[in-house]
Structure 1
């Protein structure tokens, strides 16, 4: 029997959301990265430690960054963080380029449209604030995420960056949503 969910509300995160965000991140990472990050690393992630880092971030969030949360019945079920792209790594995209730094949802919400709706909200906000083009990076082994971003109109452009997350060296591929205003 299919489980029914309330349509989520999307809003800006506040410091009081930090504990919920930390929990979502840990569960999402354990689910999404199990095939290519160390089991010990993923199961060593601590939701309370994550919550502390998110609380600090939310009290000092830079003006150009946003942290959006999806909430169902007062429960945080996903989040998406955005802001300017890396001036050094993404200089070829221009000075108004922006990045979706991360999109994470509760594993049991995958396939419900929650991720698509939250991602679209974050992308719309960036575009409304004049950011173009937009990019997102995804771990190369994470083909599910890469397909998700491609369905949202982002295309791999051949740019990569090295990352050391999860106790292993990984490569992230850049996907770009073309600037339709050029």
Structure 2
């Protein structure tokens, strides 16, 4: 039986993280992002991930199944612009709000519990950093991601933003919820058990 787990990313994982991002964006987000997907420079993507893995204020995790890296997640305490209300005001718990900046599982590895394990491990890491709740931005048309987050008890908080790709605009919903997650798959990573 193949083992599935989540562990902290290292610099050795940057190539796979970059590959998964590029592959997943081409597969799952082409309609939303258009030509912006083709404009992504693999070397710039890798440099960005190298910076994220090394940054002391972020935690990057990878999901693995056997020897394959199948997904990743990056989290940290939410920067003020991410947690602020539409009018710019900050909630009372702004400094205690975690941010799931990215959570991607390569589509061919979907529906195997990797997303839940990633989010569960990330939530545990955010709690260790002092966060009490989490937020994530999800493209409004991404029904799979919206369903995933709703399945763990995260829901839209009423804040919507519009991003301009240069070719089209994308609406994103901000979701929020507890870091004590309701996971359908109770398996936890080694980090969650520590």
TM over 0.5: yes
Distance 1:88 1:160 in 2: 13
Identify the residue that residue 184 of structure 2 maps to in structure 1: none
Normalising by the residue count of structure 2, what TM-score does the alignment of the two structures yield?
0.79
Is the 1:80–1:119 contact (alpha carbons within 8 Å) kept by the matching residues of 2? yes
1:12-55 CA-partner distances (Å, limit 9, x unpaired):
111121111100001111222133221x3323434343223212
Is the 2:99–2:135 contact (alpha carbons within 8 Å) kept by the matching residues of 1? yes
Corresponding residue to 1:68 among 43, 61, 66: 61
Corresponding residue to 2:75 among 59, 63, 82: 82
Distance 2:72 2:111 in 1: 16
Distance 1:179 1:70 in 2: 19
Q: 1:76 to 1:177 in 2, by over 3 A?
A: same
Q: 1:162 to 1:86 in 2, by over 3 A?
A: farther
Identify the residue that residue 121 of structure 1 maps to in structure 2: 121
Distance 2:163 2:127 in 1: 27
Segments of 5+ residues of structure 2 without an aligned counterpart are 84-89, 181-194
Measured on the aligned residues, the alpha-carbon RMSD in Å equals: 2.1
Greater mean deviation of Cα atoms: 5-14 or 102-111: 5-14
> Secondary structure of the residue that 1:175 maps to in structure 2?
strand
Is the aligned partner of 1:52 residue 2:47? yes
Offset of residue 165 of structure 1: 4.1
Offset of residue 179 of structure 1: 7.5
Distance 1:29 1:163 in 2: 16
Distance 1:122 1:166 in 2: 32
Offset of residue 159 of structure 1: 0.9
> Secondary structure of the residue that 2:161 maps to in structure 1?
strand
Is the 2:52–2:60 contact (alpha carbons within 8 Å) kept by the matching residues of 1? no
Q: What are the within-5 Å matches in structure 2 for residues 1-182 of structure 1?
A: 6-38=2-34, 40-59=35-54, 61=55, 63-90=56-83, 91-92=90-91, 93-165=93-165, 167-178=167-178
Is the 2:123–2:179 contact (alpha carbons within 8 Å) kept by the matching residues of 1? no
Segments of 5+ residues of structure 1 without an aligned counterpart are none
Distance 2:71 2:166 in 1: 21
> Secondary structure of the residue that 1:43 maps to in structure 2?
coil
Is the 2:99–2:134 contact (alpha carbons within 8 Å) kept by the matching residues of 1? yes
Bigger RCO (CA 8 Å, 6+ sep): 2
Offset of residue 129 of structure 1: 3.0
Is the 1:19–1:48 contact (alpha carbons within 8 Å) kept by the matching residues of 2? no
